């Protein structure tokens, strides 16, 4: 489809020149542009490497070069004739500055590699990396695969063995711990194989470990090893540990069973030996992992907003439950969660499910993503586009799937390609964007938001995204915006023809839908604070609602960050323990009288109040209140004050004192005058004790 430089330039407020061979015969034009000092946007990603080389070889080149793909995402489509607004949007977004730098996390690796698995297989892999890495093997027997062969007779690498092997840590800081139970000391063993030859039960294999289930204590092996003295069945088990920088796990059961294992840990199925899929790429990665490495610190944490814990009582566990890297843990004694930046992979799922915004995504920040969304959608509308669908995908397999769809549309008649109104937006991780930015996108003019997930995303992430989408959709449906606005698309892990065709069908179906959105796009700026952004998005959507609004919208119980509380007034004693537990100041007391007050706008449905309540009098009610009362304090429960029977000063609530008297009525220590003291304030209680003639005082005891 021929590009329209005049129309594109009008949408972007600049003069554009069409180039068809910028990296070839028109390279001089590119060189002139990079010498200007202005940012240069190249609408082609195929020849990024070539453009970078030309830039380096151009004298006086000072421009920042950015690349954007408008070919597979727009030009290579059966809908290409209508794709100009989308191309304008993608070009406008490419002009935006890069994300602001953030703090970094540093890894240091000296190349100490631990290979875990069958000794023969481990030695074969070790030979591929031993010239670069310092290899140690933790032997788990000998492989039964015929292609593996015998372990080498020559001792080339240190060999460890034992039971209960455990691993913790990350790149440059792994710690392996195990229990040394093998009667054969591998440091003393000379690999003469005499013990293997004389063992009548075949309990010793060529990894020189003894299978206790087969051994019947003939001890022929001890006699055969008398000179070396490597075998001692009387040796006590010994707990050992050792530090490593890298770990290659070839064992039958991975030591780390996380969807996102720590940096520097690789687990492979070694059943096919050196022909195992993934072995060669892993070996290449291992050889390069020596030195110092950095990555962004992807998250920011504000403890005062966290709804995880109060007074060692746990409320919200959303971030801990969803993290696939095991990077988030609880410190309820400090009333907070802890995120290990070394284990964090930057998926952002914790920030998406966090109801308060205590965890926020830092690279890029929500405010920067908001600018990108607004730029895409406003430029698309300015260029004449209608019903834009925002397609969020990862920079890895998601990007590959989108580009494979574009190439397939170029070559196959039955594949349509990315529709003209579907605007792809690549993210570091699809789980890093959630409810606040989705609703903001709808407020900015998007008709739909679709998230493309593949096997890159952990199953828990897909569940979390679906729950958040259910909440967002319930909000829009309740406000009268007809249609389905949010979609979770399952993308291909490997972009074969069948998987690409399925993705194509899903996108074509989305492109044909026309859900109702706000008539006037919003103009607010996305804030870094999640709740602030949600408030602004909701206010705009409420203002633009096209149907009479109900008083409230019922929301799904799972994942809702909005809601009210139901208080059982018969059970509540107004002890106000819930007020001290509330992290969002949604629950408040009244200094003047016994009252429990509630501001619904502040409630994040963390459940700390319900967990803390000693009477189990509080129930969460997920909903979105649309009346002005949402932002106002209202009384959930109140009671008459209880007055001291001696001085008439109020010191508690009638309900609380009556409950206490009822519970202690049968107790021997609270009868007569002692029972009356329960009805007194603290001052009068002391006075009554010291003024009573029949009280035994400690000074009277001799």
pLDDT tops 70 at residue 2: no
CB atoms within 10 A of CB 466: 15
CATH 3.30.70.3270 domain residues, the chain: 562-638
Say how far apart CA 594 and CA 654 lie, in whole Å.
9
For residue 124, the SS3 value is helix
**Chain-centre distance for alpha carbon 672:** 61
Residue 20 has what pLDDT? 84
Say how far apart CA 113 and CA 520 lie, in whole Å.
59
pLDDT tops 60 at residue 287: yes
Mean pLDDT estimate for the chain: 91
Place of tokens 């008709």: 447
Query: Residues 6 or more apart from 143 whose CB is under 8 A from it?
Result: 117, 118, 120, 121, 270, 273
Say how far apart CA 385 and CA 445 lie, in whole Å.
11
Query: To 10 degrees, what angle do helices 459-478 and 435-444 make?
Result: 40
The tokens for 256 are 């780390």
Say how far apart CA 76 and CA 89 lie, in whole Å.
17
Q: What is the CATH number of domain 562-638?
A: 3.30.70.3270
pLDDT band at 155 (very low <50, low <70, confident <90, very high): confident
For residue 291, the SS3 value is strand
The arithmetic mean of pLDDT across residues 314-320, rounded, is 94
Q: How do residues 231-251 score in pLDDT, each as one tens digit? A: 999 888 999 999 999 999 998
Which CATH code, of 3.30.70.20, 3.40.109.10, 2.30.130.30, 3.90.1150.10, is assigned to 297-361?
3.30.70.20
pTM higher than 0.75 for the full model?
yes
Specify which residues 137 forms β-bridges with. Answer: 115, 159
The arithmetic mean of pLDDT across residues 42-71, rounded, is 91
pLDDT tops 80 at residue 273: no
Q: Among residues of the chain, what percentage have pLDDT more than 90?
A: 67
Instruction: Identify which of 544, 496, 537 has the alpha carbon closest to the alpha carbon of residue 516.
Output: 544
pLDDT tops 90 at residue 414: no
Q: How do residues 10-31 score in pLDDT, each as one tens digit? A: 888 888 888 888 888 888 999 9
Specify which residues 339 forms β-bridges with. Answer: 328
Q: How far is CA 407 from CA 2, 59, 81, 83, 402, in A?
A: 17, 36, 17, 16, 9
For residue 526, the SS3 value is coil
Q: How do residues 174-227 score in pLDDT, each as one tens digit? A: 999 999 988 999 888 988 999 999 999 999 988 888 888 899 888 999 999 998
The arithmetic mean of pLDDT across residues 84-101, rounded, is 94
pLDDT tops 60 at residue 254: yes
Count how many residues are written for the chain.
702
Query: Residues 6 or more apart from 151 whose CB is under 8 A from it?
Result: 119, 120, 123, 142, 206, 207
pLDDT band at 498 (very low <50, low <70, confident <90, very high): confident
Query: To 10 degrees, what angle do helices 84-94 and 366-382 make?
Result: 150
CATH 3.50.50 domain residues, the chain: 109-291
Say how far apart CA 119 and CA 131 lie, in whole Å.
19
Query: Residues 6 or more apart from 267 whose CB is under 8 A from it?
Result: 249, 251, 254, 255, 256, 261
pLDDT tops 90 at residue 475: yes
pLDDT band at 327 (very low <50, low <70, confident <90, very high): very high
The tokens for 230 are 């490597």
Is domain 109-291 in CATH 1.10.10, yes or no?
A: no
Place of tokens 């209608």: 386
Output phi, psi for 174, to 5 deg. Answer: -80, 145
pLDDT tops 70 at residue 533: yes
Q: How far is CA 432 from CA 295, 392, 426, 468, in A?
A: 16, 10, 11, 12
DSSP notation for 651-684: EEEHHHHHHHHHHHTT-TTSSTHHHHHTTS-HHH
Q: How far is CA 138 from CA 118, 208, 209, in A?
A: 8, 12, 12
Residue 700 has what pLDDT? 60
pLDDT tops 90 at residue 271: no
Say how far apart CA 111 and CA 117 lie, in whole Å.
19
pLDDT tops 80 at residue 702: no
pLDDT tops 80 at residue 3: no
Residue 519 has what pLDDT? 94
The arithmetic mean of pLDDT across residues 658-662, rounded, is 81
Residue 117 has what pLDDT? 92
Say how far apart CA 675 and CA 555 lie, in whole Å.
48
Specify which residues 241 forms β-bridges with. Answer: 177
Specify which residues 634 forms β-bridges with. Answer: 598
Q: How do residues 257-267 score in pLDDT, each as one tens digit? A: 999 999 999 99
CATH 3.30.70.20 domain residues, the chain: 297-361
Residue 146 has what pLDDT? 54
Helices (H) and strands (E) in the chain, counts: 21, 30
């Amino acid at each position: 489809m021929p590009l329209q430089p005049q129309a594109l330039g009008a949408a972007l407020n600049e003069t554009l020149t069409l180039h068809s061979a910028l990296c070839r015969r028109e390279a001089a034009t590119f060189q002139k542009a990079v010498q200007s000092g202005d940012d240069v946007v190249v609408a082609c990603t195929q020849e990024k490497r070539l453009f970078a080389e030309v830039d380096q070889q151009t004298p006086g080149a000072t421009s920042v070069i950015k690349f954007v793909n408008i070919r597979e995402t727009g030009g290579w489509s059966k809908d290409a004739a209508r794709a100009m607004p989308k191309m304008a949007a993608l070009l406008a977004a490419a002009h935006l500055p890069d994300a602001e730098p953030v703090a970094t996390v540093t890894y240091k690796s000296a190349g100490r590699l631990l290979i875990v698995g069958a000794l023969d297989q481990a030695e074969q892999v070790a030979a591929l990396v031993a010239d670069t890495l310092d290899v140690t093997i933790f032997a788990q027997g000998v492989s039964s695969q015929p292609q593996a062969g015998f372990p080498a007779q020559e001792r080339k690498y240190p060999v460890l063995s034992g039971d209960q092997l455990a691993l913790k840590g990350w790149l440059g800081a792994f710690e392996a711990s195990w229990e040394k139970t093998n009667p054969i000391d591998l440091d003393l063993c000379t690999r003469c194989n005499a013990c293997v030859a004389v063992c009548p039960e075949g309990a010793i294999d060529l990894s020189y470990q003894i299978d206790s289930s087969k051994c019947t204590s003939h001890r022929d092996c001890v006699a055969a090893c008398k000179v070396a003295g490597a075998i001692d069945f009387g040796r006590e088990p010994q707990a050992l540990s050792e530090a490593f920088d890298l770990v290659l796990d070839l064992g039958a059961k991975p030591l780390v069973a996380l969807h996102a294992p720590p940096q520097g840990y690789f687990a492979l199925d070694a059943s096919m030996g050196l022909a195992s899929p993934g072995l060669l790429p892993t070996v290449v990665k291992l050889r390069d992992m020596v030195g110092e490495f950095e990555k962004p610190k992807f998250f920011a944490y504000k403890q005062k907003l966290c709804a995880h814990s109060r007074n060692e009582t746990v409320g919200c566990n959303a971030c801990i439950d969803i993290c696939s890297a095991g990077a988030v843990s609880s410190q309820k004694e400090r009333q907070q969660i802890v995120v290990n930046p070394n284990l964090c992979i930057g998926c952002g799922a914790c920030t998406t499910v966090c109801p308060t915004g205590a965890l926020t995504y830092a690279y890029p920040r929500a405010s920067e993503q908001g600018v990108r969304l607004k730029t895409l959608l406003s430029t698309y509308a300015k260029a004449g586009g209608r019903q834009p669908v925002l397609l969020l995908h990862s920079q890895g397999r998601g990007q590959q799937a989108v580009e494979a769809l574009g190439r397939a549309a170029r070559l196959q008649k039955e594949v349509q390609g990315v529709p003209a109104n579907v605007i792809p937006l690549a993210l570091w991780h699809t789980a890093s964007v959630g409810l606040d930015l989705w609703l903001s996108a709808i407020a900015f003019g998007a008709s739909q938001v679709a998230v493309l997930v593949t096997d890159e995303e952990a199953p828990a992430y897909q569940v979390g995204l679906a729950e958040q989408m259910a909440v967002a959709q319930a909000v829009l449906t309740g406000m009268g915006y007809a249609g389905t606005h949010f979609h979770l698309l399952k993308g291909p892990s490997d972009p074969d023809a069948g998987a690409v065709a399925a993705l194509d069908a899903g996108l074509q179906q989305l492109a044909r839908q026309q859900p109702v959105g706000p008539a006037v796009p919003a103009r607010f700026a996305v804030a870094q604070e999640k709740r602030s952004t949600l408030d602004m998005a909701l206010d705009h959507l409420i203002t633009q609602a096209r149907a009479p609004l109900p008083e409230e919208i019922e929301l799904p119980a799972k994942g809702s960050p909005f809601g009210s509380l139901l208080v059982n007034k018969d059970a509540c004693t107004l002890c106000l323990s819930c007020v001290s537990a509330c992290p969002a100041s949604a629950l408040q007391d009244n200094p003047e009288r016994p009252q429990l007050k509630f501001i619904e706008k502040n409630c994040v449905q963390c459940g700390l109040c319900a967990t803390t309540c000693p009477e189990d009098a509080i129930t969460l009610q997920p909903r979105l209140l649309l009346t002005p009362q949402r932002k106002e304090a209202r009384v959930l429960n109140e009671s008459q004050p209880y007055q001291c029977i001696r001085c008439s000063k109020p010191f508690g609530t009638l309900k609380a004192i009556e409950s206490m008297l009822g519970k202690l009525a049968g107790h021997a220590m609270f009868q007569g005058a002692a029972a009356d003291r329960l009805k007194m304030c603290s001052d009068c209680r002391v006075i009554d004790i010291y003024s009573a003639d029949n009280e035994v005082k400690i000074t009277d005891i001799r």
